[in-house]
Amino acid sequence: MSFFDFEPVLAGRIISVITIDRAEDAEPLTQALIDGGLDALEITFRTEAAPEAIRRIKGAFPKAHLGAGTLLTGEQVRLALNAGATFGLAPGMNPEVIRFAHEQRLGFIPGVMTPSDVEVALSLGCHIQKFFPADIAGGVKMLKALSAPYAHTGLKFIPLGGVTAATLADYLSAPCVAAVGGSWIADRNLIKAGDWSGITKLAKEAVAIAKSREIS
């Protein structure tokens, strides 16, 4: 939608996807990612800690590009907005949630996997869409085939689900890919262990791969 500019969020071409169990881990985790060169984050609403984690990150790192993921209901959209998220994502394509998010002026990226999903999302003004689950849905080959009939619309994808450091370059080399969502960078077990240096290392590796690939 025109009211939200996704360009700053997508500039680094990687969004770190985070499932956080303890809100108090939010600040050191975000610092670890920023130290690694990543400032675009998606905090998934898969745990009760998500809203408070977003509030903490918003307060400590106001310049971070902070999204809320796994938004399945209007109430979760409201919680994400109140916590400080500036954009939202979902694993699927729910028109009611998309419309509500847009009414609330929250930039929204729905999840798609089929041409029908793509067309409904486009009809609702979503020209950035999440291809999910990317790996088992056919990976780069499927993504290129799916995007071909819609390239003239300006549609771009964020593949997520099963993407790894080993496949990151292939996804980023696809012209239809705006950015990649990565959950391996801030793996849930690394967060639980407080392995901030390990997360920084993974972030730096991902950033280096992204910088080596440009949209062709």
Entry field: residues in the chain = 216
Closest CA relative to residue 144, chosen from 39, 153, 134: 134
No. of helices (H) and no. of strands (E), the chain: 10, 9
Closest CA relative to residue 64, chosen from 91, 103, 29: 29
Residue 148: other Cβ atoms inside 10 A: 10
> Contact, 84 vs 43, CB < 8 A?
no
* 58 a catalytic residue: no
Closest CA relative to residue 159, chosen from 33, 10, 44: 10
**CB half-sphere exposure, 161, CA atoms < 13 A:** 23
> Contact, 112 vs 93, CB < 8 A?
yes
CA–CA distance, 112 with 118 (Å, rounded to integer): 6
Rg of the chain on CA atoms, in Å: 16
Catalytic residue selected from 48, 130, 204, 214? 130
* 156 a catalytic residue: no
Closest CA relative to residue 159, chosen from 151, 149, 174: 174
State CA 178 to chain mean position distance: 11
Catalytic residue selected from 42, 96, 201, 211? 42
> What residues act catalytically?
42, 130
